[in-house]
Amino acid sequence: MAEGRFPSPFEIETPAGAEGWEELYTYSLPFSEDRRDYEDSVFWFQDGIHWPEVLTPWDATFFEYAIASLSQYNTRHYLIPPALGIDYRVLNGYAYLTPVPVTDPAEIEARVPKFMERAGYYFQNWDRLYENWRHKIDDLADQLRALDFSPLPEVEPMEVITEGRGEGSGMRLQENYRTLLNLALRLWQYHFEFLNLGYAAYLDFFGFCKEAFPNIPDLAIAKMVAGVEVDLFVPDQKLKDLAQAAIDLGVADAFAQDSAAAVIETLGSSDAGRQWLARWDEAKDPWFNFSNGSGFYHTDEVWLEHLDIPFGYLRNYIDKIRQGVDLSRPIEELRAERDRVVNEYMELLPTDEDKEAFQGKLGLARVVFPYVENHNFWVEHYSHAVIWRKMRELGETFVKEGFFADRDDVFFLKRDEINEALWDMYSAWAVGTEARGPRYWPRELERRKGILDTLRAWSPPPALGEPPEVVTEPFTIMLWGITSDSIGMWLGAGEEGGDGGLHGFAASPGVAEGPARVILTADQIGEVQEGEILVAPLTAPSWAPIFNKIKATVTDIGGMMSHAAIVCREYGLPAVTGTAFGTKQIETGQRIRVDGSTGTVTVLD
Amino acid sequence: MTYIVWFDEYRDEHLPIVGGKNRSLGEMTLAGLPVPPGFALTTHAYRQMRDQDADARHEVQDLLARIDLDDAAGLQEIAAKVRQRIEDIPMPAAVDEAIREAYGRLGEVCGDGAIPVAVRSSATAEDLIDASFAGLQDTYLWISGEDDVVAHVKRCWSSCFTDRAIAYRHEMGHDHDRLLMSVAIQKMIRPKAAGVAFTLNPTDGDRSQVAIDAAWGFGESVVSGEVTPDNFLVDKVIYEIVSRAISPKTIEYRLSDDGRSVEKAAVPDDRVTAPSLTDDEVKAVAWLARQAERHYGAPQDVEWAIDMDLPDNENAVLLQSRPETVWSRKPRKPVAKGRGDLMDGIVSTLLNPVHTRSKASTTQEQGN
């Protein structure tokens, strides 16, 4: 690892024009003099996998809910022996994390039996508990959908009187918003009910393989564990089926039109077209509640709200099918290949005891892995899409009352400020007078947007403080792909420009050469052309359809198990993830060579 | 009398008369591995030559009886005389006819009447000369035309009497007169690149890997250690290239301009630091080695080449396969060591994350 340290969080200056950014977040989120001794003594890394961009005040809600829930399970539920939670801060609008280890060996020892009892229960009852989890998520999404954020009525309807309800619509609005926050926090509690345990079981199998076969590629281990049918791939599969259906029904020509609205209008005018639309309706819920980003930002575009995205993919798939490309996934072949890989490694083990241990660990890894693979769709994509939709309904109500110019302004308030704004709205409605909001918020929102724009132009250092000699915290490695090597890479690349070569994780094997296409935000993905190599800060699972066009992928952020790496492997494309500086060092149009087997990217021009 | 055994007609009962090298080529051919075609000239041919001229046999015995192992110069002189005497023995008519006929047939099979071949000795069990000891001195490459093939069979026979081989048998107490030798005659290949491969990682004994050493031209440069070869490590289950080290390869053995011999030459600048194998070729070589390992049921040490005469994707050929001896003889360390219990395993995984563990254990393996 390279020598050196990253800047202290207290050395980082606020960019001119962003003064006062701290007030846009919960008071406990920024670094502060109050906890300086502690905050300056640990190593922080920017979580670019989940929060690569500046957080708006409301979007910080998911950041806080997610990391606190993750932590709670380690610390208070399962008592992961060497790990408490992950501490989190926001600096100049960007998310930073630090794992909190248990350092006292006696305390670690004391946590072991409790961990074994608690985690053991989940491992033993995994399938039943996971099935129950799916019901809990469906139930939670139903509760979210039922929340009514419609505007306050001029006069309460008569049944409020006749049913003797004794309460009004202002109550409903405020209560429903509090319920939404409760459900969002509950969603994140559910998210981590299984995840860390799932990763732990996976890591155990991973470690066994690495010990038996020191040179085994990470990919081989992932291949043995990965499911053949995974929820995360269903949306893409549904699109492929719909593309085929459009051809079979003879309505494929309609998709030549650029806008989804025009396509839908054309389809609506024929029987065959209406048949296709019926199939679309069948597939869309839940599967097209799929975000084109990580799902953590209100600006991430969900397919159902941005139909041009899935319809663009449909057009591409229709073209491919017409060119004779086979888009089907050979499920049986994939299964057979997985069995072959497992059997061959097993045969190479030295003893029968080893073979038995290998099978046991692989068995458990496969039991837990569906959760690891699928939770992302159900939480970050499906449930978040419902929450964003509900928040926009609430935003509409604020717009109607003159508080905001745009419904998305709702995401520029802190989550608890919305309670205050609702109170203001309710109170004026109740009293029959003028709220302060319509004069207060437009001015305040403009100020906040100015600050956030300034912060967006600032580039956050990958880490803060002094790096540990060796990264030992298991979840930092597994969830964020951060190792002593990657920290060394950040430090090295910061010092010099490098040798024209970038290094990262060998996330998906193969070698490809071609022109680069640098994509900084999700809404640029339409620019990607056939045969290009995608270079992005990170990729989202919902970008799967463009993987049919590109030759390889390079990301700044992410490890072997990042959602992006999983999709790249599924599409058999070379990928190098976690290069840290890919989007900064590569320009669109430059010819690059991506070696997904060794994790290197070379600029050829 | 059986003088010729084709590789694809090899049977176990042929072993005593064709020797270890021919057995290996025969077995690999029968296992469907891409081995260049050829045939064995059996020990019956050698015996026929030895027995048909009683005078020559006695002369050789007398010469060998005078050997004094402490007199290196004398030993060399006697060895030279013995070899000359053997080469002077006329090729027995029946053997001569058999070689010419088989060579003619090989030419027909390959569509080239003057097909270039390699002529090598194939040690039989009795003389106990380890294949690696027999080594290079009795391999004649790029021999074409039936007269030349016959002449080199004789040279091959006589090469059992190098000073080293004589001294070895002497020390081991083997009777020179009971020595029998078989010869392998195999279609020559024109290697773009060649080298060796182990079906395990020689640095840590990892059985899931194939380690490949490769250089330009004939494999002699790799075997003799005259060049630092390119090195590739390939996972033998998913055929992913795990690591590669490309070295400057300054010399190569290649066919001379007249096409009749192999010469050592400087590698042109543009190829010195270029990889000697494409990724597809690396994987094809790994696959070959893996098939040999499967066939023999034990880790192998193989010689291979990429033949320029064959089309892409089927140009990797296997020249030799023998058991790997270093790691195969060590007892293998069990992995589970009581860590079989799932919860214990998970706790230990959390306490010693693999990324910190794997490096420590690799270093330890190398230290052993």
pTM above 0.90, yes or no: no
Q: Is B322 exposed, middle or buried (0-12, 13-18, 19+ CB in 10 A)?
A: middle
Q: What is the CATH number of domain B4-187?
A: 3.30.1490.20
Domain ranges in chain A are 116-191+377-455, 231-331, 499-603
- The whole-chain average pLDDT of chain B stands at 86
Separation between Cα atoms, residue B212 and residue B306, nearest integer Å? 13
- Asked if A81 and B333 come within 8 Å (Cβ–Cβ), the reply is no
Contact list in A for residue B212 (CB cut-off 8 A) is none
Provide, as residue numbers in chain B, all residues whose Cβ is less than 8 Å from the Cβ of A207: 349, 352-354, 357
- Note which residues in 118-177 of chain A have CB less than 8 A from chain B: 119-120, 123
Q: Which of residues 481-520 of A touch B (CB under 8 A)?
A: 483-484, 509, 511
Measured CA to CA, the distance from residue B285 to residue B295 in angstroms comes to 15
Map tokens 């075997």 to a residue: B223
Report how far Cα A236 is from the mean position of its chain's Cα atoms. Answer: 17
* Dihedral angle of Cα A202, A204, A207, A213, to the nearest 10 degrees: -80
B238 and A341 within 8 Å at the Cβ level: the answer is yes
Distance CA A372, CA B34 (A): 44
Contact A213 B351 (CB under 8 A): no
- Judged by a CB distance cut-off of 8 A, whether residue A105 touches chain B is no
Lookup result for tokens 């305390």:
A107
Determine how many CB atoms are found less than 10 A away from the CB of residue B86.
23
Amino acid A560: pLDDT:
65
Nearest chain A residue (CA) to B333: A350
Question: What is the nearest CA distance from B214 to chain A, expressed in angstroms?
Answer: 19
Q: Residue A286: is the preceding peptide bond cis (ω within 30°)?
A: yes
Please identify among residues 450-479 of chain A the ones whose CB lies closer than 8 Å to any CB of chain B: 470-474, 477
pLDDT at residue B4 above 80? yes
- Where is pLDDT greater, at B162 or A347? A347
Taking contacts as CB-CB distances below 8 angstroms, the residues of chain A near B281 are none
Rounded to a whole number of angstroms, the distance from the CA of B280 to the nearest CA of chain A is 10
> Hey, are the CB atoms on A203 and B332 less than 8 Å from each other?
no
Q: What is residue A495's DSSP assignment?
A: H
Sort out which chain A residues have CB atoms less than 8 A from B241's CB and list them. 509, 597-598
Neighbours of A251 (CB within 10 A): 22
Amino acid of residue A246: A
Chain A residues lying within 8 Å of B233, measured CB to CB: 215
Nearest to B349 among A200, A344, A473 (CB): A200
CB contact under 8 A, A119 and B343: yes
C-alpha distance from residue A517 to each of A50, A66, A514, A598 (Å): 22, 32, 9, 21
Q: What is the pLDDT of residue B125?
A: 56
Distance between CA A474 and CA A482 in Å, rounded?
A: 10
* Gyration radius of chain A's alpha carbons: 25
Q: What is the model's pLDDT at position A562?
A: 65
* Residue B365 scores a pLDDT above 60: no
Is B345 in Cβ contact with A361 (below 8 Å)? yes
Chain A CB contacts of B352 below 8 Å: 207
A350 close contact with B: CB closer than 8 A: yes
Provide the 10 A C-beta neighbour count for residue A107: 12
Q: Cβ of A559 under 8 Å from any chain B Cβ?
A: no
Task: Identify the segments of chain A with pLDDT beneath 50.
Answer: 1-2, 494-498
Q: Where in chain B are the domains?
A: 4-187, 191-329, 338-368
| Cβ contacts of A267 within 8 Å, gap of 6 or more | A251, A254, A273, A274, A276, A277
H/E element holding A36? helix A36-39
Give residue B195's identity as a one-letter amino acid code.
Answer: G
Task: Please state the separation of Cα A336 from the chain's center in Å.
Answer: 31
Per-residue model confidence as pLDDT tens digits over B173-212:
777 777 888 999 999 888 999 999 999 999 889 999 999 9
CB contact under 8 A, B243 and A598: yes
- Is the CB of A357 less than 8 angstroms away from the CB of B207? no
pLDDT band at B121 (very low <50, low <70, confident <90, very high): confident
Which amino acid, B312? D
H or E segment to which residue A96 belongs: strand A94-101
pLDDT at position B366 over 70: no
Distance of CA A466 to the CA centre of its chain: 28
Contact list in B for residue A116 (CB cut-off 8 A) is: 343, 347
- For range B252-265, the mean pLDDT: 83
- Within 8 A by CB and 6+ apart from A107, the residues are none
Contacts of B243 in chain A (CB under 8 A): 215, 598
HEC states along chain B?
Answer: CCCEEEHHHCCHHHHHHHHHHHHHHHHHHHCCCCCCCEEEECHHHHHHHHHHCHHHHHHHHHHHHCCCCCCHHHHHHHHHHHHHHHHHCCCCHHHHHHHHHHHHHHHHHHCCCCCCEEEEEEECHHHCCCHHHHCCCCEEEEECCHHHHHHHHHHHHHHHHCHHHHHHHHHHCCCHHHCCEEEEEEECCCEEEEEEEECCCCCCCCCCEEEEEEEEECCHHHHCCCCCCEEEEEECCCCCEEEEECCCCCEEEEECCCCCCEEEEECCHHHHCCCCCCHHHHHHHHHHHHHHHHHHCCCEEEEEEEECCCCCCCCEEEEEEEECCHHHHCCCCCCCCCCCCHHHHHHHHHHCCHHHHHHHHHHHHHHC
**Type and span of the H or E element at A507:** strand A505-508
Cβ within 8 Å, pair B346-A119: yes
Q: Please, what is the angle between helix A271-287 and helix A260-267, to 10°?
A: 130
Q: How far apart are CA A62 and CA A56, in angstroms?
A: 11
Whether residue A556 contacts residue A579, with contact meaning beta carbons closer than 8 Å, is answered with: yes
Output the pLDDT for position B354. 58
The reported pLDDT for the residue numbered A493 is 58
| Partner B contacted by A217 (CB < 8 A) | yes
For residue A512, CA distances in Å to A421, A431, A515, A553 come to: 54, 68, 10, 9
Instruction: State whether A208 and B342 contact (CB < 8 Å).
Output: no
Q: Residue A215: which of B201, B332, B357 has the nearest Cβ?
A: B201
Tell me if chain B has a CB within 8 Å of the CB of A203: yes
* Selected residue of A213, A223, A469, A508 to mutate for chain B interface (largest B Cβ count, 10 A): A213
Which residue of A118, A209, A211 is the best one to mutate when testing the B interface, meaning the one whose CB has the most B CBs within 10 A?
A: A211
Residue A605 near chain B (CB below 8 Å): no
* Domain B191-329 = CATH 3.30.70.270: no
Q: Residue B210: what are its φ and ψ, rounded to 5°?
A: -115, 125
Residue B130's pLDDT band, with cuts at 50, 70 and 90, is very low
- Considering only CB atoms, which residues of chain B are within 8 Å of chain A? 201, 204, 206-209, 233, 235-238, 240-244, 279, 332-336, 339-340, 342-343, 345-358, 361-362, 365
Superfamily of domain A499-603, CATH level 4: Phosphohistidine domain (3.50.30.10)
Helices assigned H by DSSP within A288-351: 308-322, 331-347
Is the CB of residue A572 less than 8 Å away from at least one CB of chain B? no
Long-range contacts of B261-266 (CB under 8 A, 24+ apart): B261/B141, B261/B142, B262/B141, B262/B142, B262/B218, B262/B220, B264/B221, B264/B226
Strand bridging mode A44-46 / A94-101: antiparallel
Identity of the amino acid at A411: F
B350/A212 touch (CB, cutoff 8 Å), yes or no: no
pLDDT, residue B184, reads 94
Across the interface, of A116, A223, A511, the residue whose CB is closest to B238 is A223
pLDDT of residue A538: 80
Nearest to B340 among A119, A203, A357 (CB): A357
- Terminal-to-terminal C-alpha distance of chain B: 53
Position B134 confidence tier, pLDDT thresholds 50, 70, 90: very low
The CB density around residue B177, as the number of other CB atoms within 10 Å, is 11
- Interface touch B340/A82, C-beta < 8 Å: no
State residue A435's pLDDT score. 98
More confident residue, A11 or B110: A11
